């Protein structure tokens, strides 16, 4: 599935990022969310659909070429407001993950830009299965 169409099926409202991992060797950037819901309605809204919820699931960007974080020490660990997708070059997309970081020093909002070939979900109950 096209990354732009796929991201429209992912609902993250009222959810938060528990942790992030960037594995340059495996070319993966992953965000663990406390919960991930899917949008399946024809009107494009979540409509409180919970049949496919993934608790403590991962949003994974595969084939990562680069991760750009312009704010020093910015680490997504709170709300994810949205994920925008644009074309980058040939088989790559440019993902803009807008969210927040909270720590003992305060609260910061920012964007993580990820240049990658793929995006999918991982359910910890079925870690070998890429959900697209």
* Percent of the chain whose pLDDT exceeds 90: 86
| Contact present, 48 and 14 (Cβ < 8 Å) | no
Residues listed for the chain = 132
Q: What strand order describes the sheet that includes 35-38?
A: 10-11, 35-38, 54-55
pLDDT tens-digit map of 10-28:
999 989 999 999 999 999 9
Asked if 78 and 100 count as a contact pair (C-beta separation under 8 A), the reply is: yes
pTM of the model as a whole: 0.94
pLDDT digits (tens, 9 = 90+) for 79-117: 999 999 999 888 999 999 999 999 888 899 999 999 999
Q: Which residues contact 106 (CB under 8 A, 6 or more apart)?
A: none
Rounded CA separation 94/85 (Å): 6
């Amino acid at each position: 599935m096209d990354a732009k169409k796929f991201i429209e099926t992912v609902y993250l409202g009222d959810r938060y990022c528990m942790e992030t991992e960037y594995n340059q060797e495996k070319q993966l950037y992953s965000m663990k969310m406390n919960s991930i819901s899917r949008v399946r309605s024809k009107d494009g809204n979540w409509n409180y659909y919970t049949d496919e919820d993934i608790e403590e699931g991962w949003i994974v960007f595969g084939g990562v070429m680069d991760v750009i974080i312009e704010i020093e020490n910015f680490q997504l660990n709170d709300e994810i407001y949205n994920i925008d997708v644009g074309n980058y070059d040939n088989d790559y997309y440019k993902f803009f993950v807008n969210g927040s970081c909270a720590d003992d020093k305060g609260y910061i909002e920012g964007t993580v830009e990820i240049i990658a070939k793929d995006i999918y979900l991982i359910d910890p109950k079925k870690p070998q299965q890429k959900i697209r």
